[in-house]
Amino acid sequence: MRIGTRGSALALAQARQVAALLGGEHELVQVVTSGDRGDALSDKERWVRELDAALIEGAVDCAVHSAKDVPAQLPEGIVIAAVPQRADPRDALCGAASLAALADGACVGTSSLRRAAQLRALRADLAVIELRGNVDTRLRKLADGDYDAIVLATAGLQRLGRADAGAPLDELVPAAGQGCLAVTTRAGEQDLVAAIDHPPSARALAAERALVRALEADCHTPVGAHAQLSAPGTLTLRAFVGAPDGSAWVRDALDGEEPERLGADVAARLLSAGAREVLA
């Protein structure tokens, strides 16, 4: 098959992982997205638009994405056909063993409003500063002393062979889909990749994406969502909504069996507890 992917080191590592899971010989087709070019597009569309177009036009047979980069609403004719077994979904702190180990006023780098909101809620003394670039660039800026610590995704570090660079941050609720890969195909062609789907991971992702849709959240919204199996057939969904400055936040957790319903229910509970006002 022709597997569509972005050309970054992490994206290629993820596409090779999918190719290995599928078995046999497959072609990786690198597609330059709007995000790679630095174009300003709304929400997460900049990371997937050109890959979606390549699928629709028949230039590729499937595409591999970091699930957290896939918009809550997919274009007509495209579906998430497989979610391989999830990697570690947690955020990782690089440069210190823990949040508690950071000195007062320490400078922590992140490009994520979700991470910034939670860091400020947990440690109001921290100077949370914007950090851009790929994983290697961010780690180099940390090594150069531009930051006392930075926050990255544990899964990304693992996939690049840099797992030892960070310590898991259990205090933070991850982004919806963090640690998951989403393999998309044209509608009706899911069988091409169905064999590599991991149902528990797919169910967890479905619950997290349902919550994001119900909150009408985007990549500029400080929202965390993480679902996992807590008993046979039962998911526990944790969620966080916070103000970027850390001054207010709402958390919730709920069990359920039906992913879409669970995500909608948790979103409704967050909104009833004041999440809309926090986001505003």
Distance CA 217, CA 197 (A): 26
pLDDT confidence tier of residue 35, bands split at 50, 70 and 90: confident
Q: Above 90 in pLDDT, residue 47?
A: no
- As a whole number of Å, the end-to-end CA separation of the chain is 45
Mean pLDDT across 83-93 = 98
Banded model confidence at residue 38, pLDDT cuts 50, 70, 90: low
Residue of 52, 69, 148, 252 with catalytic role:
69
Say yes or no to pLDDT of 42 above 60.
no
Confidence of residue 156 (pLDDT cuts 50, 70, 90): very high
pLDDT average, residue stretch 74-86: 97
Q: Is 88 a catalytic residue?
A: no
Question: Residue 127: how many CB atoms within 10 A of its CB?
Answer: 12
**Mean confidence (pLDDT) of the chain:** 94
If pLDDT is split at 50, 70 and 90, which confidence band does 19 have?
very high
The vertex-89 CA angle with 83 and 94, nearest 5°, equals 140
The reported pTM is: 0.94
User: Given this model, what pLDDT does residue 278 score?
Assistant: 92
Higher pLDDT, 41 or 85: 85
Q: What pLDDT is attached to residue 43? A: 59
Strands 62-66 and 181-186: antiparallel
Q: What is the mean pLDDT of residues 23-37?
A: 88
C-alpha dihedral over 52, 260, 267, 222, to 10 degrees?
-30
Please list the residues that pair with 185 across neighbouring strands: 79
pLDDT tens for each residue of 232-250: 999 999 999 999 999 999 9
Instruction: Collapse the DSSP code of 138 into the 3-class scheme (helix H, G, I; strand E, B; otherwise coil) and give the result.
Output: helix
Report the C-alpha gap between 237 and 230 in whole angstroms: 9
Instruction: Please count the other Cβ atoms lying within 10 Å of the Cβ belonging to residue 19.
Output: 18
d(CA 40, CA 271): 30
Is it the case that residue 44 has pLDDT exceeding 70? no
Name the strand (E) or helix (H) holding 47.
helix 45-57
Cα torsion angle, 80, 31, 11, 170, sign = negative
Instruction: Give residue-wise pLDDT tens across range 171-207.
Output: 999 999 999 999 999 999 999 999 999 999 999 999 9
Tokens of 243: 């103000």
